Each structure stands twice: as C-alpha cells, then as structure tokens.
Structure 1
C-alpha cells in the first residue's frame, strides 16, 4: 500500500511495542565500514534472516539469526588465511538463537547446546581444508571458549556489531516529550575507562515522508567516574537513525555512526536494511488501520504528493 503521501501523527503513551508474530522471518542486508585513521578502511557485507521464535519454556522472547549469504570483505570473500579460518570456524554459531529482554535488548545466547553439537562437524570441515600450527592453536582456543557459555556471550557482546545495533532496547516508554536517555557500550569502546555512550533517544512525533516511524539516537562518550582514569579521558560520538514499521514496529533500516579515541579516532558505520520478499517494495504492507490493536494513530494529513525517490534513497535517507 502506497502511503508515501501521508503523514501519521502519534498520540497516547508515546511508547514503542513490537508486534512480530512467532515463526515470522525477515531478511536484512548488513554493511559495516571500519575506518582507522584517514587512509585505512575495510568494509564487511552480508545478509541475515531474523526469525521471531516462540517464547522459551521460561517465557523469554527468542530470536534466531541466520546468515543467508557469504561474508564479503571489501567486496570479495576472505582471502587471508587468518580471515578464512576465522570465517570457517565462526559458522559453528549459526543459526544463532538469542534471548532479549522485554524492551528488545540482547541478553544472552540461548542455543549453547546446539552450538556444541555442531562443533564436531564444523571442526572436521576446518581440518579438511586447513593445516598447520595456526589451525591447531585456533581450534584449541575455540574449544575452550565453546564449553563456557559466559565466554560466548562475552565474545558477542565485545565484537558483534549487528547484535549491538539491531537488538537494542528500543521498545519502551519515551515519556511525554518522546525522549529517553540510556548508556550504550558498543564494540568500538572497549576500554575500562568509559561507561559507554550517554545517548539521547528521540521518538518522532509523526511518520516520515513514506510512513515510517523515526527514532533518533545521539550519544557522547561518558568517562568512567574513577580517579585512576582522570588523565585518560576518551572521547567519541554515536549517531543512530532507526526507521520502524508503522504497524508492527519492526526495524526497516538503521544507519549508525560511531567514533572513539582521544586523538586519532577510530570510526565505524553500520547500515542495516530490510530486504523485501518477492520484489515487493519495503513499504508494501504499511497498511494503516485505526482499529488495529497497538497502533496509536489519531489522524492522517495529506501532503503535496508522493515521494519520487528510488528504493534505497527512500529507505536509507541518502
């Protein structure tokens, strides 16, 4: 349904509530760009399928993450031995099932036993395709990590940009002024001298030009309040731009920029975008119905005609 010429104003409790039925899968493209200094840049690209699973026996919300494509580094498959080895070994984690809190924030890895069961077949393939002391040492370290679920959780918390960006606690109350404040710690800021990015979260009061809900994050590094780090104050900024489905509140796209470092800053840009099924437009199901439960729509205002932008321009606001 084309609603690119309409704007929806929200009222009521100013909250986001995720409406994602169990067993429904959505595909996304992921693009992560790493910059260290002005000249060195690397780009990682892949596709994932996210499935909302039925709650666990304990009632925990569960999501499955499955990579549906190869992982490309600078538009090619990993070519360095170390990169190829890490990629091959890392396949043991997928499909990955995680638990999230009631606000949608990542909590922990749920299918640890399944990962352990997959390891023997993954290990055999690695040993069939790689050889040498580097491989043996890598496998030994991986096996020590796999048996400890806390080590796996920590590895994803420290390194996985997709999980950090996609599974944020977005689904919550935003108050009368549609503002909230949180501290987020992303992989780029690993030092013990920072608490994270003190982030202002702003929920849009109306839909954007093609009907999506906007959520904007702006954060700055918050140093750890500890006398040991008074002379080692890091700096950095975070900007996140989320587009959410107007009816189901699922993520349509995310564009986030991160910087960290006192002098020569490291920078990371993360882009995540929904991949529509069957050549459909990403907004094909933006059907607005005031009778739908959980949709706080009060009025629709017609603007001066539909947007003429292309698919990616409209989606990523470029």
Structure 2
C-alpha cells in the first residue's frame, strides 16, 4: 500500500530534473528547467541543492535574469527540518545563508546598477532579517510546495478532502484549492502511485489575486475565480522518496478572459 511506502524514513540521496512551463491564455510564456538534489539525512532533515538553471532552454542572459539567479543561489544548499507530515518546521542553516548573502551583496551592488537591481537587492536584504519571511519565500517555491506535500495527512482518511494553498503567482499570496485523493495504488513497476485532483475555491477574483489581496472585498459570487489542479505522484518503494511528479495547476477569471496554467514535471535522474 502507498501509505506503507510513505511511512518509510530511510536516508536517501536523489537527483531530479524539473521542468516548469507557464501558459497565459493558451500562449506559452516561459519555461524554467533545473536540476535539484535532495538528500534525507535524518527522518525529517533534508539538504537541498539546485544547479543548471535554464530559462526558455537558455542560460540566463538578461541582466535581471542573471541577478535573480545569483540571488536565488544564496539560498542553496538549503537545509530544512520538516514535521512528520512534510510541512516545513524550520530552516536549519539560516545563519549560513545570511553569511553567504553578506559575502555576495557587495559584488552585486558593484556590478548590477539600475532601479530594478537596487529593489531586488534591497528586498533580499529585508527578507533575510526575518525568519518568517524567509520561510515564506521557501514555501512560495512551487517545487518545494509540491515535493514536500503533507502526503501522510492527505492519505489518512479515505475520500477526505483537504485545502491546499499553491503559489500560482510568484511572490504573491498563495491560491486556495480544495483537493482529494482519487486513486492510490501500487504500479506494475512497484512504484507507489497517488492521484490527486481538486478545484479552486479561493473567494478572491483573478484581479484581487494578481494585486496580492489577502481576502475578497466582498462575498458576492462575481468575486470568485475558477480553476483546477491535477497531481500524479510516484514514490520509490525502497525508501519512500518521491520518484516523479506530474502537476497541472490552472486559474482563470470568472469571465474566462484571463487564464493561467502551470505544467510542472519532476523526474528522478
């Protein structure tokens, strides 16, 4: 049973390829690929490394892309401790991340000029002063949110539904979906397979979500938006680690004039 696989807490070291593609109104807007390495050191302690980032199949070449990548790399390697469910408990190497930033910042300030560069650097400086803000940055990574989904909570009760908050827009409040496990079984290859499906139940309109409003301005029906989520997970039988993730996350305005779709793929190398 998949639940028995998820109970395994053996150490492992896995390398994954990740592909994240964004569509807006059926038009492909961006594609990000990278390699991620995850090592489970203890039952609930993980070390995460990221490398080989490509944007639209190219090494970041725009100045702002290069700066964003350098800033992002400050957070890796990332060491975290989770709750038994998989939810983030705390970042274990926060002091080390702050030291890396202190060393890198003078070089960024010297090399990258302009208003946007200054804003990005200042934002990171402000974030690193707050443990809670840094943890929110981690949780606003679609990779982290999907890889460390609290599977054990979701699989405990048959036919139970759960609320799941997903980062559909970067650096904005997450969008609320209601999900349900629709299938859980062993594949012919011996992998645990879990299929999850759900729909958006966020009370905000599409515009309110874009504008980073936390709550809907009213409870009227026209303020709701639509969308659905479909997730397929495979787990390694030997150690309970994730083998692959296929995810499709959609959000659309009520009049369907604004449609955002994210395809996310993770596969063990």
CA apart distance, 1:198? 0.6
Q: How does 1:292-303 map to 2 (within 5 A)?
A: none
Question: Residue 151 of structure 2 is aligned with which of 165, 170, 179?
Answer: 170
Which residue number in structure 1 is paired with residue 31 of structure 2? 43
Normalised by the length of structure 2, the TM-score is: 0.84
Q: Distance in 2 between matches of 1:72 and 1:184?
A: 28
Which residue number in structure 2 is paired with residue 112 of structure 1? 94
Which residue number in structure 2 is paired with residue 147 of structure 1? 129
Which residue number in structure 1 is paired with residue 177 of structure 2? 197
CA apart distance, 1:36? 1.2
Q: Distance in 2 between matches of 1:223 and 1:54?
A: 36
Matched, 1:17 2:6: yes
Say which SS state the counterpart of residue 151 (structure 2) adopts. Answer: coil
Q: Distance in 2 between matches of 1:133 and 1:226?
A: 32
Matched, 1:269 2:269: no
Answer whether contact 2:168 2:175 (CA < 8 A) is retained: no
Say which SS state the counterpart of residue 84 (structure 1) adopts. Answer: helix
Answer whether contact 2:87 2:150 (CA < 8 A) is retained: yes
Aligned residues: 253
Q: Which shows bigger deviation, 86-95 or 46-55?
A: 46-55
Say which SS state the counterpart of residue 41 (structure 1) adopts. Answer: strand
What is the CA deviation profile of residues 168-214 of structure 1, one whole-angstrom value per residue up to 9, with x for unaligned ones?
011247357x444211111117887x971110114524x21322111
Larger relative contact order, structure 1 or 2 (CA cutoff 8 Å, min sep 6): 1
What is the CA deviation profile of residues 40-59 of structure 1, one whole-angstrom value per residue up to 9, with x for unaligned ones?
4211000011011236xxxx
CA apart distance, 1:134? 3.7
Answer whether contact 1:189 1:196 (CA < 8 A) is retained: no
Q: How does 1:181-220 map to 2 (within 5 A)?
A: 181-188=161-168, 196-205=176-185, 207-220=186-199
CA apart distance, 1:227? 7.6
Matched, 1:31 2:19: yes
Q: Distance in 2 between matches of 1:175 and 1:128?
A: 53
Answer whether contact 1:181 1:198 (CA < 8 A) is retained: yes
Which residue number in structure 1 is paired with residue 219 of structure 2? 229
In structure 2, the CA distance between the partners of 1:266 and 1:18, relative to structure 1 (3 Å rule), is same
Extract unaligned runs of 5+ from structure 2. 204-214
Matched, 1:62 2:42: no
RMSD: 2.6
Which residue number in structure 2 is paired with residue 6 of structure 1? none
Higher gyration radius (CA): 1
Q: Distance in 2 between matches of 1:146 and 1:189?
A: 21
Which residue number in structure 2 is paired with residue 311 of structure 1? none
Instruction: Give the strand-richer structure, 1 or 2.
Output: 2
Which residue number in structure 1 is paired with residue 207 of structure 2? none
Question: Residue 105 of structure 2 is aligned with which of 123, 132, 137?
Answer: 123
